[in-house]
Amino acid sequence: MAKISKVWARQILDSRGIPTIEVSCRLDSGEIATSSVPSGASTGKHEAIELRDDNKDLYCGKSVFKAVQNINDVLGPSVWGLDVNDQEKIDSRLIELDGTENKSKYGANAILAISEVATKVCSYANKKPLYLWINDLAKRAGINSQTHVSTPIFNMINGGLHGAGNLDFQEFHVIPATSKKFDEALRCGVEIYMTLGKDLERRGAIHSVGDEGGYAPNLFTNADALQVLYESIKQSNYQIGRDVFLGLDVAATVFYSNGEYKIRDKSTPLNDEALLEYYKQINSQYHLALIEDAFYEDGWDSWKKLYQAFQGQLTIVGDDLLATNPERVVRAIQEKACNGILVKPNQVGTVTETLKVIKIARDAEWKIISSHRSGETNDSFIADFAVGVGSDFVKFGAPARGERVSKYNRLLAIEQELLRK
Ligand code: PGA
Ligand code: ZN
């Protein structure tokens, strides 16, 4: 039984150059692991709180020195001496110590950093790959799932808060068929990504990339972005509806105000009925496989209408709506608001609570999508996590940029390892 003997943290930078936390953990048996946490831009208001210093003279208010200090002085010492196999106890110690609903006292970023590094270092002590140790934890949480190398959802075009272009919708996805092995799915994503880049160049559209590695073009409308993507796929060796499918993360909270949604596709703002009609039109043209955050994060009635209109046809995914929060997931199941969840550990703040949310969603037969954040580090924890909990899909951005491909590359290694067994 290995025990935690020391935890220490530092401030590092994420992929946007914004400070985040890196933490190390040593066991009395000698193993040391290091882990870091990501950060969102289109952050939902129901997420656990990421603690920042808010001191304008330090990193424009974005530094996390207080959260680092919280780890070094309070949270870290509180888990010294605990059995590292007892993830549930480690996490409940951190939750109790913070004592707030949304982890605002010590910061969800500080708490998650310790929770994840404990999982990682325990896998070293147990001489197990991280995804297998996470699978053990998932089973302990009652999730009845085998390890599974998930199907990638590639974010090919970045709009909203992630893109330098002018699109309102945040993400335009290409999703390979779930029957493909991961390495074939990755190849498919890369080939379409390259074709799309050339296509945008030929059209004279901006083809530099946004926060998640997808292109951030200057197009006229959101529907134009889907059309460009559609045409690039047609030029590639893949067939839409057979080899690949299209999806959207609308992230609608960002362009919602006072009951209306303002998008460049329409000259006047839309109410929820009109936006739903527009989604129906888009869907009849492009046969989407998935739509995420189609309405704003508290628009429960609009979500229910969407579910009524599209259930059985496509996966309706809640991200900002659910915020990886167990109560919100239970409500969404009861009210029939969606049938898929974007799982982001930093929205809730510990590994154990994330597993609890997955258990609830799985029991309702929802699709599970394990997700990165738009501000990432090269840590590939989320790739092991996705495989360990048996996620149906992963969302790690475009197949480009170091912090995105570190996750895809990790899935390649895991798939090879699992096939060798
Ligand atoms: P975020 O975006 O990390 O900026 O919240 C990801 C998403 O909305 O899925
Ligand atoms: Zn989202």
Render pLDDT for 330-356 as a digit per residue (tens, 0 to 9).
Answer: 999 999 999 999 999 999 999 999 999
pLDDT band at 39 (very low <50, low <70, confident <90, very high): very high
384 lines ligand 1 (CB under 6 A): no
pLDDT for 345:
98
With a 6 A CB cut-off, is 40 part of the ligand 1 pocket? yes
| Stronger pLDDT, 205 or 321, i.e. the higher one | 321
Angle, alpha carbons 150-152-155 (nearest 5°) = 155
Q: pLDDT at residue 165 above 80?
A: no
pLDDT band at 421 (very low <50, low <70, confident <90, very high): confident
| Predicted local distance difference test score (pLDDT) of residue 45 | 96
Q: Mean pLDDT over all residues of the chain?
A: 97
**Cβ 42 under 6 angstroms from ligand 1:** yes
Of how many residues is the chain composed? 421
| Cα–Cα distance for residue pair 367/389, rounded to 1 Å | 12
| Chain Cα centroid distance, residue 296 | 18
Atom of ligand 1 nearest to the CA of 373: 3
Q: What is the mean pLDDT of residues 114-135?
A: 98
Q: Is 344 a catalytic residue?
A: yes
Q: What mean pLDDT comes out for the span 112-121?
A: 99
Question: Would you state the pLDDT for residue 145?
Answer: 86
- The angle at the Cα of 47, spanning 173 to 163, to the nearest 5 degrees, equals 35
CATH value of 151-420 in 3.40.50.1000, 3.20.20.120, 3.40.50.300, 3.30.70.141: 3.20.20.120
Q: Report the pLDDT value the prediction gives residue 82, as an integer from 0 to 100.
A: 98
Residue ranges for the known binding site for Mg(2+) are: 249, 292, 319
Whose structure tokens read 């210093």?
A: 53
Residue 317 pLDDT greater than 80, yes or no:
yes
Closest CA to 253 of 47, 32, 59: 47
Angle of helix 381-389 versus helix 402-420 axis, rounded to 10 = 40
The confidence score (pLDDT) of residue 144 equals: 87
* Domain at 4-127, CATH homologous superfamily: Enolase-like, N-terminal domain (3.30.390.10)
Taking the alpha carbons of 318, 320, 321, 323 in that order, is the dihedral positive or negative? positive
Cα(67) to ligand 1 centroid in Å equals 22
User: Which residues make up the environment of ion ligand 2, defined by Cβ < 5 Å?
Assistant: 249, 319
Residue type, 348: V
Domain boundaries, the chain: 4-127, 151-420
Ligand 1 mutation target, pool 169, 170, 372, 382, most atoms within 8 A of CB:
170
Find the mean pLDDT for residues 153-160: 96
The confidence score (pLDDT) of residue 207 equals 82
Cα angle 156, 385, 345 (rounded to 5 degrees) comes to 80
Pocket of ligand 1 contains residue 163 by CB under 6 Å: no
Distance CA 164, CA 207 (A): 10
Residue 379: its pLDDT value, please? 98
Alpha-carbon gap, residue 106 to 139, rounded angstroms: 29
